[in-house]
Amino acid sequence: MTQSSAVFSGKVIEIADKNQNSSIQSSADPIAVVFEVEESWKGINQTQVVVYTERSSESCGFEFSLHNEYLVYAHENAGNLNASICSRTTLLSAADQEKQDLGKGEGSTEQISIDLTTENSTNTNQLYIYLLIVALFLGGGYITLKRRTKK
């Protein structure tokens, strides 16, 4: 617990993988996991929190599952909370002894709601804008080339 920036129990309510549909993927790609916080022992006072992990255990990522409950030990890196298979993070159902050792945690005091789909749609909209600009640039180049070849 002393090495963790945050220790809490919570239920996974959303998992966002911005590279899910990418043709190039890495086991180290970041995955954002939104938790509904149930109880906190350190570093969390919000009702929801985002924890990042790598795509797979091959890169030390913890493979969270939607709707499962976990006891999460996270460390802060560049302003984000991160969990890995090297932390003590585990399914809550397998953490009876740890919860007993931790004692009674605190409830969340700051009510927030996190929606990662908004962030992903913003990134998608930016991609469409860039593609439109490239298409306009290529279209302009094509028209210019056609005019020059007619002369």
| DSSP-assigned letter for residue 86 | T
pLDDT in tens, 23-52: 777 777 889 999 999 999 999 999 999 999
- Domain assignment of residue 1, yes or no: no
User: pTM score, two decimals?
Assistant: 0.70
- CATH code of the domain covering residue 48: 2.40.50.120
Where is pLDDT greater, at 129 or 98?
A: 98
What's residue 127's pLDDT? 65
What's residue 135's pLDDT? 77
Q: Does 2 score more than 70 pLDDT?
A: yes
Instruction: Read off the pLDDT of each residue in 6-23 and give the average, rounded to a whole number.
Output: 86
| DSSP-assigned letter for residue 46 | B
Residues 99 and 93: their CA atoms lie apart, in Å, by 10
What's residue 126's pLDDT? 63
Percent of the chain at pLDDT > 70 equals 88
Instruction: Read off the pLDDT of each residue in 101-125 and give the average, rounded to a whole number.
Output: 70
Domain coverage including residue 84: 6-114
What's residue 151's pLDDT? 62
Instruction: Kindly state whether residues 100 and 142 are assigned to the same domain.
Output: no
Q: Does 91 score more than 90 pLDDT?
A: yes
Q: Write down the H helix ranges in 38-150.
A: 96-102, 116-150
Instruction: Kindly state whether residues 83 and 71 are assigned to the same domain.
Output: yes
Neighbours of 150 (CB within 10 A): 6
Mean pLDDT taken over the chain: 84
Q: 35 with 8: CB under 8 angstroms?
A: yes
- Domain assignment of residue 95, yes or no: yes
Q: Does 82 score more than 90 pLDDT?
A: yes
Q: 53 with 71: CB under 8 angstroms?
A: no
Specify the 3-state DSSP secondary structure of 30: strand
Q: How many domains does the chain have?
A: 2
pLDDT-based confidence at residue 138 (cuts at 50, 70, 90): confident
Instruction: Kindly state whether residues 35 and 69 are assigned to the same domain.
Output: yes
